[in-house]
């Protein structure tokens, strides 16, 4: 695996190093020892998948606060997505900045997302599936979110948005939240 940092501290793009032979390929997508050597949490307690029927579907932007903050390791296993994260760490020099990356079954790229980052993505094709591992259990009372179209972040989704859940559409404008609601 190769690890590439991006402009937002703690965020890492991971590329596999496939071994090819007549059967196909083999590659690691997670190695606790290598991840720890790069300063990443690697003890995942839950693995999830999400499947998206329609191209243009947007899921997110969610994160969890203490005591259930979580890191995520995200990979697109079928189709393609545009994955977006927002730095929600108030003491970070990149607070409220976002980063987007294309993940696909073809590029097999992974995105490591530290604690306190809002996360969401857009399906770029019908049938896009995403697998992600998390370092803490889902805790509804600790969940926070912002709308994928919140004007405070100006996220430019690559496609017209075709589907968003009622929950994701209903988050209040970020500028109207107080700090207790976000941290």
Residue 105 tokens, joined: 């079954």
119 carries an active-site annotation: no
Contact 88, 142 (CB under 8 A): no
Active site residue 62: yes
Q: Point out the catalytic residue in the list 82, 112, 121, 132.
A: 132
76 contacts: CB under 8 Å, gap ≥ 6: 83, 103, 104, 105, 128, 129, 130, 131
Rg (CA), the chain: 16
Q: Is 88 left (phi over 0), alpha (psi -120 to 50) or beta?
A: alpha
Pairing of strands 80-87, 2-5: unpaired
Q: How far apart are the first and last CA of the chain?
A: 33
Which of 38, 62, 102, 121 is catalytic? The answer is 62
Query: 85 phi and psi, to 5 degrees?
Result: -130, 150
Active-site residues: which are they?
A: 62, 132
């Amino acid at each position: 695996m190769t690890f590439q940092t991006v402009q937002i501290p703690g965020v890492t793009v991971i590329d596999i190093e496939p071994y090819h032979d007549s059967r196909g390929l083999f590659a690691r997508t997670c190695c606790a020892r290598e991840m720890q050597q790069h300063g990443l949490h690697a003890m995942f307690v839950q693995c999830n998948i999400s499947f998206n029927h329609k191209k243009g579907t947007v899921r997110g932007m969610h994160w969890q606060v203490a005591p259930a903050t979580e890191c995520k390791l995200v990979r697109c296993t079928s189709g393609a997505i545009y994955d977006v994260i927002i730095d929600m760490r108030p003491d970070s020099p990149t607070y409220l900045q976002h980063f987007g990356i294309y993940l696909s079954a073809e590029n097999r790229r992974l995105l490591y997302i530290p604690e306190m980052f809002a996360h969401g993505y857009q399906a770029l094709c019908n049938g896009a599936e995403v697998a992600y591992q998390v370092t803490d259990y889902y805790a509804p009372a600790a969940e926070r979110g912002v709308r994928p179209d919140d004007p405070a972040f100006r996220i430019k989704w690559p496609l017209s948005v075709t589907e968003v859940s009622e929950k994701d559409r209903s988050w209040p404008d970020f500028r109207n939240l107080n700090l207790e609601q976000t941290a």
